[in-house]
DNA sequence: CGTTATTTTGAAGACCATCAATTACGGTGG
DNA sequence: CCACCGTAATTGATGGTCTTCAAAATAACG
């Protein structure tokens, strides 16, 4: 694909698979700044520079097209492709800023909920409507993206699962209660409680708000059941 | 100036004074994403969109030029201005990414050191070579930019001062030991110790650099003087 | 089937946020 | 000039969130 600092030779629409964008700061700190799936374009942001400012790393077997810079830049001016390309650029910039704010001022659970909702949304946007996600990235990648540690991500996923928001098994993830996840994303307080008192059977412990969580009560929080 | 969401009508080179760029996330979280001083250009990043994606807020009496979009976009294509403008755009993007990584994985003291060094560098870049900085932004702004609270910023500045890295009095700041600050920025461990023992006169605890701290005390300068 | 990487889970405590109270500063008006 | 007020900044005490270190369990791989 492309590496940070290397000259810009092409952009790479992802045909199949998935990749992450990794940025290495001047001091050597490394952080995942974006995830790309089928339909996303790697190296798009760097088109009007000389050198790539991130590196792309595949997270699985991934195929992508290679569009040489001249062609790509021509597309940027063409009537046909200009708008979609710019729109994508804007969406990515917006997402990066949102991520900045998230890392800067939201709690870990909120950030993770954000990521999950985002991944689900992207998957929906590209056709796969099912609520079942297959995470291509490792816990470490998620943690890096969110400014957390892999342990925290793991623990939070477990907590999300025990309160019935999702089910996880390794990299198979299913969102059970999108509205609930969303309210976790929105409300700093609504962090899934750590086992406060060993509840007997109470239908999930989401506390205060109106938060119309549509009585998804039959949550058999045993975790791990989905295929 | 310009407000997030409003149509892009112009870009605004800062002639005098200073401003901050504020981004408001979809959920209403607000965060300072950049500081602009004389010579910087507000709204530059939004030139090829319809709407501004941040708001600019002056931090003091500030004058800036108004370059209408058509003119600005023309400049982006002209041989004369294209390169400097793009170079600025790249620098800003790089800085924003570096900030992301900083907030995501560096300690509070490192981030603050980064900001101070950055401000000093910018000031040097625009001529004012003196080591005396006048912070235009409030502690709150710094905190927001760095993903911290104002109290933490205040405490860290105090600690920086007690170990001889800087002197601060309100918004008058002087970097005494650039090398020491730099090593704080680079090394997560080298956080200025909380007052271990009040040193009498020992040349401070900054290790590797030459660390020539020339005891500049007694800076008394009233703020706000510009027209 | 052994080996390695990834993930989970636990326990301890660092770091920073939060709450609260005090001090400093700038402006206003008596 | 000084009392008054509001904003900004400092400082302290407390505890929650998250990191860190460590170990076990699970999955992936040759």
B99 and B111 part of one domain: no
A91 and A11 part of one domain: yes
The boundaries of the domain holding residue B130 are 107-198
In a domain, A62, yes or no: yes
A93 to chain B: which residues are within 8 Å by CB? Answer: 45, 53
In a domain, B43, yes or no: yes
Question: What mean pLDDT comes out for the span A94-117?
Answer: 97
- Residues forming beta bridges with residue A67, ordered by sequence position: A11
Q: Of A83, A105, A127, which residue is a domain's last?
A: A105
- Count the domains in chain A: 2
A207 touches B at CB < 8 Å:
no
pLDDT tens across B174-209, in order? 999 999 999 999 987 887 765 444 444 444 443 333
In a domain, B210, yes or no: no
DSSP assignment of B40-96, as one string?
Answer: -EETGGGTTSSB-SSEEEESSS-EE--EEHHHHHHHHHSTTTHHHHHHHHHHHHHHH
Work out the mean pLDDT of chain B and round it to a whole number. 85
Residue B129 Cα, gap to closest chain A Cα (Å) = 24
Residue B86 Cα, gap to closest chain A Cα (Å) = 8
Could B100 and A103 be called an inter-chain contact, meaning their C-beta atoms sit closer than 8 Å? yes
> Which residues of chain B, if any, have pLDDT below 50?
195-227
Which pTM value belongs to this model? 0.85
Q: Of B90, B105, B120, which residue is a domain's last?
A: B105
A46 and A58 part of one domain: yes
H or E element: which one contains B167? strand B166-169
Which residues contact residue B81 at a Cβ distance below 8 angstroms, ignoring those fewer than 6 apart? B75
CATH of the domain at A191: 1.10.10.10
pLDDT of residue B16: 92
Could A101 and B185 be called an inter-chain contact, meaning their C-beta atoms sit closer than 8 Å? no
pLDDT of residue A218: 30
3-class DSSP state for residue A73? helix
Selected residue of A53, A99, A105, A146 to mutate for chain B interface (largest B Cβ count, 10 A): A105
- Residues forming beta bridges with residue A43, ordered by sequence position: none
B98 and B151 part of one domain: no
Please say if the pLDDT value at position A141 is more than 60: yes
In a domain, A176, yes or no: yes
Q: How far apart are CA A52 and CA A208, in angstroms?
A: 47
- Residues of chain A above pLDDT 70, percent: 84
pLDDT tens across A147-192, in order? 999 999 999 999 999 999 999 999 999 999 999 999 999 988 887 6
pLDDT tens across A200-221, in order? 444 444 433 333 333 333 333 3
Please say if the pLDDT value at position A198 is more than 60: no
pLDDT of residue B1: 79
Q: Of A50, A75, A105, which residue is a domain's last?
A: A105
pLDDT of residue B194: 57
Q: How far apart are CA A86 and CA A68, in angstroms?
A: 18
CATH of the domain at A64: 2.60.120.10
pLDDT of residue A128: 79
H or E element: which one contains A111? helix A108-125
Q: In what order do the strands lie in the sheet with A55-58?
A: A30-36, A19-24, A55-58
A43 and A78 part of one domain: yes
């Amino acid at each position: 694909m492309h590496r940070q600092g290397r000259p810009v030779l092409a952009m790479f629409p992802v045909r199949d698979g998935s990749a992450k964008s990794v940025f290495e700061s001047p001091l050597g700190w490394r952080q995942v700044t974006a995830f790309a799936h089928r339909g996303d374009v790697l190296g798009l942001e760097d088109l009007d520079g000389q050198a790539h400012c991130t590196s792309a790393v595949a997270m699985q077997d991934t195929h992508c097209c290679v569009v040489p810079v001249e062609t790509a830049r021509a597309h940027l001016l063409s009537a046909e492709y200009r708008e979609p390309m710019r729109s994508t650029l804007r969406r990515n910039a917006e997402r990066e800023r949102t991520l900045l704010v998230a890392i800067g001022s939201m709690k870990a659970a909120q950030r993770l909920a954000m990521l999950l909702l985002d991944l689900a949304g992207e998957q929906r946007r590209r056709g796969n409507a099912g609520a079942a996600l297959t995470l291509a990235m490792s816990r470490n990648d998620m943690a890096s993206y969110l400014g957390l540690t892999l342990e925290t991500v793991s623990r939070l996923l477990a907590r999300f699962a025990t309160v019935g928001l999702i089910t996880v098994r390794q990299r198979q993830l299913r969102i059970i209660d999108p509205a609930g996840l969303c309210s976790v994303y929105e409300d700093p307080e609504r962090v899934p409680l750590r086992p406060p008192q060993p509840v007997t059977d109470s239908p999930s412990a989401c506390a205060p708000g109106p938060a119309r969580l549509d009585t998804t009560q039959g949550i058999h929080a045993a975790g791990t059941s989905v295929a």
